[in-house]
Amino acid sequence: MIARQAGAPRARDAAAKARPPAGGWDVLVHRAVPYGWPRELALTAVPYLKAGWSTGDAVVVIASEPVRVSLRERLGPEAGAGIEFIDSADWFGGPMRALAGYHDRMRADWWPRGRLRLLAEPVWDGLSPLETREWQRHESLLNVVFAGTPTSIMCAYDTVALPPEVLAAMARTHPELAGPDGPRPSPEYTDPAEYYAECNAGALPPPPASAAHRMFGAGGLPPLRAFLAAEAARLGLPEARTLPFVLAVNEVATMIIQFGGGHGSARLWGRAGELVCEVADPGRALADRFLGYAPPPPGPPPAAVPAPPGAPGAPGAQVGQGGQGVDGAMWAVRRLCHIVQIRSGADGTRIRMHIRLDHG
């Protein structure tokens, strides 16, 4: 299933249930605000936040403590009391964790109160190259998964502290740039589908020769789960997070058995403070275009049925082109993992799941 086609309508439907759209209420606005010093940020952010507060929007700030303190002082006690402030270190624990948090809070709390007006300050310190790339993908994905929803997002970027590659990606992942003189189009903005493909362009390095290995097929999921639990314990994954890890890998293996080639392999290893598991389907390609970045619609998942020739899961077909089950499965997998990488082509599909060892 193509998430760009499915994800935005799902978010839009949930917002519509919260409040009937009127005028430009259900239009996504996504801007970056580059700033060189706190006062410059305040010149743009304070009028933006006050405008939302005065019109009854749900106004939220996700930022570091210094930024939150500075904005509270400039907003004043009345406006400040009507705005929700969240610590960016708590919110931005991982790209999918933040995206799922947006989905959950928008539906449960923010959209029912009105249009959402959000100021977010992503955390770029202490990230690996993979994490940096996935956060940049996250910024681009916001343009897809919340398209057609009553949402305004302004992302703050410190041009003094952040490296050039992060600032370059800022211009490519935000349709507009904001400043004290108002918004302007970003000339470097890149279509999210093109940006997503760039993120997936590099080949995954092969698993290490020391990686534990297990084949699986129909009827082989119980021994696979036992293998995963034992290897996770050996590699130092805390017991409390072993079940989510096993569930994520089991979901991918089930997807391959039901919708893919019917059998595959799992390889598991530890690397730089994380547990990595790669599940491979050697016989089927997966249509990955924003796959698993939007929650499935409510209701029971579709029943698995034998696929006729040419259908998803049959010889010569791509899994996921019409597979609501695949899209829903990958949403669950992404929520259970820190980062999920997908590479797919003529030689099959590789889904690599990363789980942190130190924290969730």
pLDDT tens digits, residue range 148-184? 999 999 999 999 999 999 999 999 999 999 999 999 9
Phi, psi dihedral angles at 90 (to 5 degrees):
-80, -40
Query: Residue type for 5, please?
Result: Q
Question: How far apart, in Å, are the Cα atoms of 36 and each of 39, 41, 160, 342?
Answer: 9, 8, 6, 37
Taking the C-alpha atoms of residue 263 and residue 210, their distance in angstroms, rounded to an integer, is: 22
Calculate mean pLDDT across residues 293-298: 82
Model confidence pLDDT, tens digit, residues 26-79: 789 999 999 998 889 999 999 999 999 999 999 999 999 999 999 999 999 888
Query: What is the C-alpha separation between 40 and 248, in angstroms, rounded?
Result: 44
pLDDT in tens, 56-71: 999 999 999 999 999 9
pLDDT in the model for residue 306: 36
Residue 90: exposed, middle, or buried by beta-carbon count in 10 A (0-12, 13-18, 19+)? exposed
CA-based diameter of the chain, in Å? Answer: 66
Alpha-helix runs per DSSP H in 216-307: 221-234, 239-259
What H or E segment, with its residue span, contains residue 61? strand 58-63
* Six token digits for residue 129: 């190259």
pLDDT in the model for residue 324: 55
The candidate with the shortest Cα–Cα distance to 282, out of 220, 214, 347, 205, is: 347
pLDDT confidence bin for 272, thresholds 50/70/90: confident
Q: How confident is the model at residue 297 (pLDDT cuts 50, 70, 90)?
A: confident
CA atoms of 94 and 43, how far apart (whole Å): 29
Q: Is the pTM of this model over 0.75?
A: yes
Query: What pLDDT sits at residue 25?
Result: 58
CA distance 145 to 307: 29
The mean pLDDT value for 82-94 works out to 95
How far does Cα 120 stand from its chain's mean position? 15
Q: What angle do CA 111, 117, 123 make, to 5 degrees?
A: 110
